[in-house]
Amino acid sequence: MSLLSQRELSSLLRSLLQNPLCPILYSSAFRLLTRTANSLRCGRQLHALLLLHGVPYGPTLAARIAAMYSSSGDLPSAYLLLLHHPNPSTLLFNSLIRGHSIHGLPTDVLSLFYVMLDHSLLPDHFTFPFVLKACADIPSLPTGCAVHSLCLRQGFELDVFVGSSLVNMYVKCGELRSAHRMFALMPVRNLSSWNALIVGYMIVGAIKVAEHLFDDMPARNVFSWTAMISGYTQNGAADRALELFEEMKKEGSEVKPNWVTIVSVLPACAHSAALEQGKRIHDYAKAMGLESNPTVQISLMGMYSKCGSLLKARYLFDHMLERDKSLVAWNTMITSYALYGLGAEAVVMFEDMVRSGLQPDAVSFTGLLSGCSHSGLVDQGMKYFETMEDVYSVKPSHEHYACVVDLLGRAGQLEKAMEIINQMKIDSGPSIWGALLSASRSHRNLEVAEIAAKQLFLLEPYNSGNYVLLSNMYAEVGKWDDVKKLRAVLREKGLKKAPGCSWSEINGKAQAFLTGDKCHPQVPEIYRLLEDLPEKMKAAGYMPDTNMVLHDVSEEEKECSLTTHSEKLAIAYGILNTSPGTTLRVTKNLRICGDCHVAAKFISKVYGREIIVRDIKRFHHFRGGVCSCGDYW
């Protein structure tokens, strides 16, 4: 509260002591208290003074008192005013509706709106935006449409605030066409309507339409930029999100990124494994005083862990204030340890969280069970799974069952994994059968693989990965006729195998490589280094795993094919372009193949490098010829 407002309030209170029967003075005082933090005690005293002197309060004064209680969070007292007022007005209802909206109670907002209509009171241009926001928050399209009809009948549809609320309501209810139609009708469009529409198109992945809207905006605020950055990130356009963030910073003092912007852009760094860019954003957040925000801290933890810097993520967690260590913060660390295959650490983190007094949720158990799975902690994982509902009141979902099937499958207990699936209380889904198929591949159990694949072909008829995995298993045992049949199915369905792609960030720039890539300008040097690698690695004991090349060709041809895998290209590029001893970080869009895993261990030993590879499943940290996964992956 400004010094001027404090003086004004003090003056009003002095005047009230001298003239305690003046409704106008009370009204002005309550109006100021509504804008003042921690004013509830003073407001109650003022209300008591009013009642003590028997001052009659009309519609305006009743609305001001209700607004004071609502803004201070005392909603029951505000509601009592409505119950005991003989002739409640639109103003009084508006104060209550606004208060319940601000405190995130959309159902109560609509209930008050219905009571207002029952009193034959007509809503106005102050009522409709809050009611439409409630329809959007629930969301309830039928109610929203009914309120829109009432707006039309009363002539408020083209009011700028009502119009932008209608756009927002239709966007959040999934009616993008109606939202755009409403937007087109508006004679005056405020920034909220532009931003709402941009968010809507980003939600459905219509990036180009959102870009056109963003380019056409007469003015932009921080929400406009953040909506675009967040939309790019959510739609997998991480590079564009990072570029736009840099553009936003160049806007100067007019538009500065806030904590929401930082939280929106950090996942783009995590997606691209762009650690250096993530560090720069961290430095920027620190310089802007945003680092202390708990949500920013949690986002930074997630970014560092997904960019291969787990120690930094743990450092940030350890230095959080205890009151800021929410369930989300703990879950982030549990999930991070699981991602690195550090199951024992995930278990310790889980137990520490429970001891801190927090109740684990479904995300906690997904991370915990995944960590146990990647570390071979079968007994511990099963103990937590069997107690999660009885002890922690968390009902197992598809994700939890998939983790358990993966846990047992990785350990070779395929029959027990099948028993779990058959005894499930919910329908089995693709994630569960996918875990079983993957485990069958690891343990070369073609019989179980065919059972899992048959289910997946029904559940995911257009997922090429399932066909490719079973085809590879047929190829491993020389069933080339079955391989041809599956490849024919892929052709009939128009499906293609996702090409292996790996990328590495060097000097702040990400370089991507496809398997067998010949397009990079450093291809001659990269392939020259790869040609020399086998001899150096073989001298250290390396034997190429030609089972990873599933073509009916000679062993020499298979060895040649292995050297062009995208992981090896990215690692070779890193060796060529960094000084000795620099840690190499590589990200792959698929699971790292067995031969590349073995090769990376030898490369780390021969070249004395730490190599961190993040594949679609987890992290592998290679150092001195050993991988952090202990070859259990």
- Predicted confidence at residue 7, as pLDDT, reads 66
Residue 539 in this model has a pLDDT that exceeds 80: no
Instruction: Name the pLDDT band for 561 (thresholds 50, 70, 90).
Output: low
Instruction: Name the pLDDT band for 9 (thresholds 50, 70, 90).
Output: low
- Please tell me which residue, 95 or 28, carries the higher pLDDT value: 95
Instruction: Name the pLDDT band for 577 (thresholds 50, 70, 90).
Output: very high
Indicate the domain borders of the chain. 326-395, 419-492, 501-627
Distance of CA 188 to the CA centre of its chain: 34
- pLDDT, one tens digit per residue, over 427-468 is 889 999 999 999 999 899 999 999 999 999 999 999 999 999
Residue 36 in this model has a pLDDT that exceeds 90: no
- Predicted confidence at residue 107, as pLDDT, reads 97
**Mind spelling out the 3-state secondary structure of 426-475?**
CCCCHHHHHHHHHHHHHCCCHHHHHHHHHHHHHHCCCCHHHHHHHHHHHH
- Predicted confidence at residue 555, as pLDDT, reads 37
Residue 558 in this model has a pLDDT that exceeds 50: no
- pLDDT, one tens digit per residue, over 154-176 is 999 889 999 999 999 999 999 99
Residue 581 in this model has a pLDDT that exceeds 60: yes
Instruction: Name the pLDDT band for 272 (thresholds 50, 70, 90).
Output: confident
- Predicted confidence at residue 15, as pLDDT, reads 72
- Predicted confidence at residue 43, as pLDDT, reads 85
Instruction: Name the pLDDT band for 551 (thresholds 50, 70, 90).
Output: very low
The mean-pLDDT minimum among 29-33, 211-215, 330-334 falls in 29-33
- pLDDT, one tens digit per residue, over 591-600 is 888 888 988 9
CA 362, CA 344: separation in Å to the nearest integer?
A: 19
- Predicted confidence at residue 6, as pLDDT, reads 60
Q: Which residues pair with 501 in a beta bridge?
A: 514
- What predicted TM-score, i.e. pTM, was given to this entire model? 0.85
Among the listed residues 562, 561, 570, the one whose alpha carbon sits nearest the alpha carbon of residue 513: 570
Pairing, β 584-588 against β 619-623: unpaired
Angle between helical axes of 414-423 and 446-459 (0-180°, round to 10): 30
- Please tell me which residue, 76 or 546, carries the higher pLDDT value: 76
419-492: in CATH 1.25.40: yes
CA 305, CA 337: separation in Å to the nearest integer?
A: 9
Residue 345 in this model has a pLDDT that exceeds 70: yes
What is the average pLDDT value for the chain, to the nearest integer?
Answer: 90
CA 292, CA 263: separation in Å to the nearest integer?
A: 13
Residue 534 in this model has a pLDDT that exceeds 90: no
